[in-house]
Structure 1
Amino acid sequence: MAVYAQELEDLLRAAFPNAQIAVEGSDGKHMSAMVVDESFRGMNRVQQQRAVYAALKGKMDGANGELHALALTTKAPE
């Protein structure tokens, strides 16, 4: 089963309700997302990305994950 941009955005919005979020991709397997959220302040990039992956609730877990690739940009607001 593929993951679509709106589904991915909904998962991210639930975890980061005040974030600036942009999701792109239409094939359901390869997507990109940008998440800018105050909760990332003081976190390094790995910590930020782990928080995003946790919000995806297993959509990228292992070979059987619904989403194969996610180009991810995360940061705190400037």
Structure 2
Amino acid sequence: MISPEQVQTMIQEKLSNAKVKVAGDGQHFEAIIVSPDFAGKSRVKQHQIVYAALQAELASETIHALSLKTYTPEAWQAASSAPLK
């Protein structure tokens, strides 16, 4: 099993300027990622960037399911009044 904190760290290592929040039960995870690296990229491309950070864990099914919500900082500000920590 892998912890939400480990998943969060792996994403942050790939997207160094990202704000990341991950919740999950060891196999099923939900992640919110806010990164300036997403600017100008489609939602699909944004998700592919995150999947690349977790490629080994997804391939081995250490992570069985992953739900993503990705935002640029501007999109996050427009969508939410709360800062992501």
TM-score (norm 1): 0.88
Tell me how large the CA RMSD over aligned residues is: 1.0
1:74 corresponds to which residue?
Answer: 70
* Percent identity of paired positions between Structure 1 and Structure 2: 35
Q: Which has the higher helix share?
A: 2
How many residues matched? 74
- Alignment partners' CA distance in 2, 1:20 and 1:13: 8
2:2 corresponds to which residue?
Answer: 3
2:34 corresponds to which residue?
Answer: 36
Q: Which runs of 5+ in 2 are unaligned?
A: 75-85
- Alignment partners' CA distance in 1, 2:42 and 2:56: 22
Moved over 4 A (4+): none
TM-score (norm 2): 0.81
1:48 corresponds to which residue?
Answer: 46
